[in-house]
Amino acid sequence: MSDIKELDEQTTTQLLKGIDIPPQPQVLRVVMAEQQQKDPDLRKIAAAVAKDVGLSAAMLRAANSPAFGLRQKATSISQAVMLLGMGNTVSLVTGLSLRMVMSGKGKIRLERFWDTASDTAMICSVLARRFKIMAADQAHMLGLFHDCGIPLLMQRFPNYVEVLRKANADTQEPITSIEDRHFNTNHAVIGYLVGRSWFLSEEIREIIHHHHDEAFLSNPHDEVLASRISLLILAEYLCHLYHRESDDVVWQRVGSNVMQLLDLNETTLQELNEDVKDLLSS
């Protein structure tokens, strides 16, 4: 697979095919600019977030979810920011901003999509603490962003939902291969480009880019990246089990590779499944 970081402007334009990537919101620019300061001021970040009522409400709900395990309930944005710390705050503001921006585009209802993304993000953060192969706040952001190309493709192509439905049931090919055949682009590429536009870390962008590269998992040339992709696939699988109580076709193809890369056995996998049930039902 080619390195998407080397894409020139012309190739990127061809891949986007008229897909509009939403710009980074102003509140996020303020937050990320403050993060870059030698001594970031969490009060300035809280003030910027508090100006957006919708974002503030969503952030308080997320901050008080089991994913972050706060010792006390946050009742204000200032308190939430102080309790979460810089990394978790940036992760939350980034992910929630993405959801709000994309949910406001077009007439497509995306509530179920974002609810699944939120659940996957929570599971990712828990797994990151368990396996210690990436920071929990970065894992949470990964869970929120990993499929963010899907709603953009839904808005661009009238038949995308139908193609995606069939691709999700295909037992032979990765979803991205089927998308490439129909649209000459795929949601992993678009997700990478969104991440680049929103200044996500290279680590997260590369996981998004490769997360449907099944051949990479069977013969990884970068075991750290493969392990992080495996963490995401495991999170998606556990989320799928919780909501549908059945295997998914991706796990059928790559589950053994994921378990090997994460050093899992069936007993541990079942324990993780029970933990996720408790997490998502709480």
Q: pLDDT tens, 2-46?
A: 444 445 555 556 656 667 788 888 898 888 899 889 899 999 999
Chain position carrying tokens 């603490």: 129
Rounded (5°) CA angle 48-49-51 = 70
Q: What is the pLDDT of residues 69-101, one digit of tens each?
A: 778 888 999 999 998 888 888 888 888 888 888
Ordered DSSP codes for 19-40? --PPPPPHHHHHHHHHHTSSS-
Q: What is the pLDDT of residue 101?
A: 83
Q: What is the pLDDT of residue 13?
A: 60
More confident residue, 261 or 23: 261
Q: What is the pLDDT of residues 110-150, one digit of tens each?
A: 788 888 998 999 999 999 999 999 999 899 999 999 999 99
Q: What is the pLDDT of residue 246?
A: 63
CA separation, residue 224 to residues 8, 133, 146, 207, 214 (Å):
27, 8, 17, 10, 15
- Written as six digits, the tokens of 144 are 């929120």
CA separation, residue 86 to residues 40, 44, 83, 93, 209 (Å):
8, 12, 9, 11, 26
Average pLDDT, the chain: 87
Please state the pTM of the whole predicted model: 0.84
Q: What is the pLDDT of residue 14?
A: 60
Q: What is the pLDDT of residue 4?
A: 44
Q: What is the pLDDT of residue 5?
A: 46
Query: Residue 218 in 3-state DSSP?
Result: helix
The average pLDDT across 164-189 equals 93
Q: What is the pLDDT of residue 9?
A: 56
